[in-house]
Amino acid sequence: MHNYKELQLLFGAKLEEEISQISQREPKYLYEPVIYTLQMGGKRLRPVLLLMAHELFNEKFETTMPVAIAIEMFHNFTLLHDDIMDNAELRRNHPTIHVKYSSNTAILSGDAMSILSYEYLNRCKSDNFREIFDVFTQTALKICEGQQYDMDFEREDHTTVDDYLRMIGLKTAILIAASLKIGALAANAPNNEADLLYDFGYNLGMSFQLRDDYLDSFGNTSTFGKNIGGDIVSNKKTFLMLTAMELAKGDTETTLKQAISSDITPDEKIKQILSIYNQLEIGRLTIEKMEEYYNKALLCWENLNVPNNKKQNLLLLANKMMNRTS
């Protein structure tokens, strides 16, 4: 069995081979941003989870590598388009595609990445290809639904914490869940085990996204890879902001509303809202919600009918995700 680092290196080497092939395609300025995006780095979390799930039931995962690339390609496509919608300037400490090139280039190259993901998925040799294809396709559609909910929240005045949790379930958690289930299906795992891995991944993904929200306010730019306070400056309705809006009363509520709506500098806005977050213990409440989902994930892990020594690496990776700083 391979650990996270070993699978990350194996996947990275295979991805570089494919990037070399993509670099031969024309027109150059369609594929150059694709290569730039893929070479930014990243944790390669989703493809590694897919390969880990495959190894639980079949250690010969080489033929499933194209499916792992499909997952990583699709994930990076969603990030590319997210950055356009969020007007983000940094991704993994690099200029985003629409900043480095243009918005039009970013849109078109993102479209190409989404299509390339299906090209790689089509190389899957598993007997369960039809089911894998359905999981992949339904996941892709649900991610779009999640993104639309995210954009809807920008216009709505009454978004709740529950609304937000449903949105991140679609936008983030579901791809982590699908990666694990697809890996299991590709290894011909029993359906109930594949479903348990899906639930494990969903709850882990919820915890992962809440951690991302937490780090956006309480992290460090040098390790997080993005500017701290970006969600605050853009009035993004995260778990932190929505929880603060529900809990703030009296003068605190007035100050919060003024900070959100007033025309003040980004630094001052971040300072004011972080002060309110600290006053209301929003950081602690976010960590508690993260732990709630993480404990649900652990229960799924415990119920997997796989020897503990085989699934230990999956638990180690889950712990790493829970305690990450970037």
Query: Could you read off the pLDDT of 246-264 as tens digits, one per residue?
Result: 999 999 999 999 999 888 9
pLDDT at position 225 over 60? no
Tens of pLDDT, residues 135-163: 999 999 999 999 999 999 988 888 999 99
Give me the residue spans of the domains in the chain: 4-322
- Classified as helix, coil or strand, 91 is strand
Average pLDDT over residues 274-298: 97
Residue pair 22/76 in contact (Cβ under 8 Å)? The answer is no
Confidence at residue 246, expressed as pLDDT on a 0 to 100 scale? 96
Cβ atoms of 225 and 88 closer than 8 Å:
no
What are the tens digits of pLDDT across the range 19-73? 999 999 999 999 999 999 999 988 899 999 999 999 999 999 999 999 999 999 9
3-state secondary structure of 90: strand
Instruction: Round to whole Å and give the CA distance between 22 and 19.
Output: 5
- Could you please state the CATH topology (level 3) that the domain comprising 4-322 is classified under: Farnesyl Diphosphate Synthase (1.10.600)
Question: Whole-model pTM?
Answer: 0.92
Write down the pLDDT at residue 223. 61
- Cβ distance 211 to 235 under 8 Å? no
The whole-number pLDDT of residue 121 equals: 98
Contact indicator for 35, 16 with CB cutoff of 8 Å: no
* pLDDT over 90, % of the chain: 86
Q: Which tokens is 252 given?
A: 């605190």
Given a cut of 80, is residue 100 above it in pLDDT?
yes
Contacts of 303 by beta carbon, 8 Å cutoff, 6+ apart: 196
Peptide bond into 27 cis (omega under 30): yes
